Amino acid sequence: MSLKFGTSGLRGLSTDLNGPAAALYATAFAQYLLSSGQASPGDPILLGRDFRDSSPSISAICAGALARAGLTVLDCGTVPTPALALYGLEKGAAGLMITGSHIPADRNGIKFYRPDGEIAKIDEQAIGAAADALKAQASAIDATPGEAEDHAAQAESLFLARNKAILAEGALSGLKVGVYQHSTVARDMFVEVLAHYGADVVPLGRSAEFIPVDTEAVSPATIDLLKGWASEYKLDAIVSADGDGDRPLVSDETGLPLRGDLLGLIAAQFVGAMVAVTPITSNSGLERQEGLSVLRTRVGSPFVIEAMQEAVRDGKTGVVGFEANGGTLTATDFILNGTMLKALPTRDSFLPVLAVLSRAAHRQRPLSSIVADIALPVALSDRIENFPLETSAALMAHLRAGMDNLSAFLKPIGTPQSVSDIDGLRVTLSDLSIIHFRPSGNAPEMRCYVEAETAGKAESLLEQGLARIRAFESQRG
C-alpha cells in the first residue's frame, strides 16, 4: 500500500486507504495510545472527516477498528480540523481526522491527535512501527465498519463559541464578504461567524462534488472565479479554506489572493504575539517586522509545533506559529476582546481570516492598500502535480551533489549566492531574489517558491523555475 506520513498526517490514494489500511492505522494508533499511557480502555476518541467521497467509508472503518481496540468512539462529523482538535483538548481525548486536505479528490488521509494535541514526528514513527508489527502478524486486519456516538453538535458549538468571542460585536459591519464555499467543511461556519460580526455575507460556489483547493498555490481557474465574483458582487474580500478547514484563503477586493504567510503575520500582530514560528518557505521579509522574533523550521505543522513548544519551554511568551499556507497556530493563551483565547497548537483558518478582515474594517481601507503598507517582498509559489516521487528525489540528489550541478541547473535563471538546505533547496541569487525547490511532503508534487522585488520579476522567476523542473523530468524521459 503506497501510504506515507507527510507534512501533516498519513496520505495516499483513496483506493489504498479505504479498506484494511484504514483499520490497520486506526488500530496501530489505538495501541500506541494505550501502550504509552495516553489513553485507557474505554476512554473517548474523536473522529471527524471532510467531504471527500471516500471519507465516510474510511471513517466508519476507523470507528470499527477503534472500538475493537477498546476505545469509545465519538463521531464529530464533518467539522474543520481545528474544531476537532479544540474539542479533543476540551475533553482530553485523542482524535482522528479523515482528510486529504488540499490534495486531489482521488487521494485521502488521516490526521492524528493525542489528548494534548497534534502528534509529533516521534509519534508518527511509533504509529508506523505499530502498523508494521500488525502487518507482520498472520491474522488479517478486520476492516468491518463500526458505529459511534454522535458528538458533531458539541464539537461545532465549542468552535463557534471560540470564534464568536474573538472580535467585538459588529466588528465587521460595513464589509461585504464573499465565502467561497466549494467543498470545505468550514463553509457554513464561515458564513455564521462573519454574519455574527455584522458582515454582509455572500455565499459563493457551493459544490456537492469535492474540489481540492490549495491555499498555498491557488490555481489560475480559482483566481479567475474569485476575480469574477469580486467584480460581480462588489466585494471587499472573499474568504475560504482547504478541504478540512485548517488553511485559509483570503482575496482582496479585486479577487487577488493574499499570501498565506502575510495572513499569518497579520494574525500574529492581531493577537500581540512576540514570537512567530514559521517554515523556511515563508516570506523572508518577516524578519524585518518590528517587535516580532521569527524562528524558522522545516515545512509541516509537526516541526512548527515542536519549535513553538521549545520556545515556551525557554520562557518565551506570546508564541504563535503559521505556515506559508496561512494556517495559524497558537502555543500560548492570548487575551482578545476581554476574553481568553486558549492556545490551539494546530493549524486554524478562522483566526487569520478574522484578523485580516477586522483590520480592513477598523482602518476602513481596501485590503490591497493594507497589503501594500506591509511591503513584503513579492513571493509566489506553484507546483507540478503528478510529479513522480522518484523523479523529485533524483532532482534533489542532483542539485545537492555539488555547486557545479546547482549552478548549471540555474544558469538560465541566475547565479547562486547562498543556499539553505533546511527543507528542499532555497537559493539566494546574485540579484538577491530567491528560488526554492522542494518536493511535497504528502503528495506526488514538486513545488517551486520564489521571491523578488517586483511582481513581474517574481512571475518570470517562477515560470523559469517550473520550466527547469520540467526540463529535468523530460531529460530523465
In single-letter form, the type of residue at position 393 comes to A
Of 181, 248, 209, the residue nearest 104 (C-alpha):
209
Q: Coil, helix or strand for 180?
A: strand
Residue 170 and residue 198 in contact, taking contact as beta carbons nearer than 8 Å: yes
Phi-psi region of 5 (alpha: psi -120 to 50; beta: other; left: phi over 0): beta
Of 444, 421, 423, the residue nearest 303 (C-alpha):
423
Residue 98 and residue 62 in contact, taking contact as beta carbons nearer than 8 Å: yes
Q: Rounded to whole angstroms, how far apart are CA atoms 224 and 226?
A: 5
Residue 196, burial from CB neighbour count under 10 angstroms (0-12, 13-18, 19+): middle
Q: Rounded to whole angstroms, how far apart are CA atoms 42 and 23?
A: 18
Query: What would the DSSP string read from start to end of 58-69?
Result: HHHHHHHHHHHT
Query: What would the DSSP string read from start to end of 346-363?
Result: EEESHHHHHHHHHHHHHH
Residue 242 and residue 443 in contact, taking contact as beta carbons nearer than 8 Å: no
Vertex 212: Cα angle to 107 and 356 (nearest 5): 135
101 noted as active-site residue: yes
Q: Rounded to whole angstroms, how far apart are CA atoms 241 and 249?
A: 5
Catalytic residue among 101, 282, 301, 392: 101
Question: What letter does residue 418 receive in the DSSP assignment?
Answer: E
Dihedral, 74, 77, 79, 81 alpha carbons, nearest 10: 50
Residue 439 and residue 389 in contact, taking contact as beta carbons nearer than 8 Å: yes
C-alpha cell at 379: 513571493
List residues with catalytic annotation: 101
